[in-house]
Structure 1
């Protein structure tokens, strides 16, 4: 597994931002990368490759991972308040014990995603793909889950 410093990660994120804006740059490929405990608050990771990335304990509040591939990613004990996973591929991701207030999972693929003991409230589960998903929540204050 690759390890990055916050500075190295910032360079990749800058290149990704330019790629998203069609101004050169390159797509963020962070697969098999150790991103534990790094600050990714508010970053734009739309369409990024985070396959098997280790994001345990990372700060991801307000991060946008829409259309990202985060299959098998580890979000154990990560803080994901107000994060977006619209149309993201979260198959087999580990979100156990993650803190998730107002997370948007619109049309996300949650096949076998593990939410054991996650703190999830006010989340948007509109049109998600849910199959064999483990959802055992703790400290949830009025979770609003809509399945259509």
Structure 2
């Protein structure tokens, strides 16, 4: 995709996010190989099946983005917001995603092995940060804490294989 075309899509997406007209970014099946998207706001964008190899997504807001069937080989996701991303069938990253039985619907913990990032709800961080968050959030609910730790342990075992 040409830079000028992408710039227009991103500008219109920004307007759409701010309720100023524009339209939601549809980058499904787009060829974004080697593209610099650093610090772009792609929240709620459609990136299904996009070819993203070696793109720079450093600091990009990818929250609530559909990345199913996208190709992520060599992508820089440093400091990207990856909360509530659809990771189904993503290629190039090992994403282990497990449902946690809580009072919230669709509560999942996702682990991106190559980036060593843990994501659940609006949390994103390291394993130690996740455990601290679980301890703080569920300090009075031992049952929920145990559920989270069972899922974490399961993910760690799967990641070793």
Partner deviation per Cα, 1:102-121 (whole Å, 9 max, x = no partner): xxxxx6785xx985xx2x24
- Superposed displacement of residue 43, structure 1: 0.4
Q: Which residue of structure 2 lines up, in the alignment, with residue 144 of structure 1?
A: 127
Larger radius of gyration: 2
Structure-to-structure mapping, 1:39-78, within 5 angstroms: 39-78=36-75
Paired position in structure 2 for 1:27: 24
Please report how far the alpha carbon of residue 127 of structure 1 lies from its aligned counterpart in structure 2 after TM superposition: 5.5
The count of aligned residue pairs is: 116
Check if 1:17 corresponds to 2:11.
Answer: no
Change in CA separation of 1:40 and 1:108 when aligned onto 2, cut-off 3 Å: farther
SS of corresponding position for 1:7? helix
Gap runs ≥5 in structure 2: 95-106, 132-147, 149-161
Deviations 1:54-104 (A, max 9, x none): 11000000000101111111111010100011111111112439xxxxxxx
User: 4+ residue stretches of structure 1 with deviation over 6 A?
Assistant: none
> Between Structure 1 and Structure 2, which shows a larger proportion of helix residues?
2
Distance 2:34 2:108 in 1: 24
1:124 to 109, 118, 121: 118
Maintained 8 Å contact 1:90/1:109: no
Query: Residue 120 of structure 2 aligns to a residue in which SS?
Result: coil
Output the TM-score relative to the length of structure 1. Answer: 0.69
TM-score in terms of structure 2 length = 0.64
Instruction: For structure 1, list consecutive stretches of 5 or more residues without a partner in the other structure.
Output: 98-106, 129-142
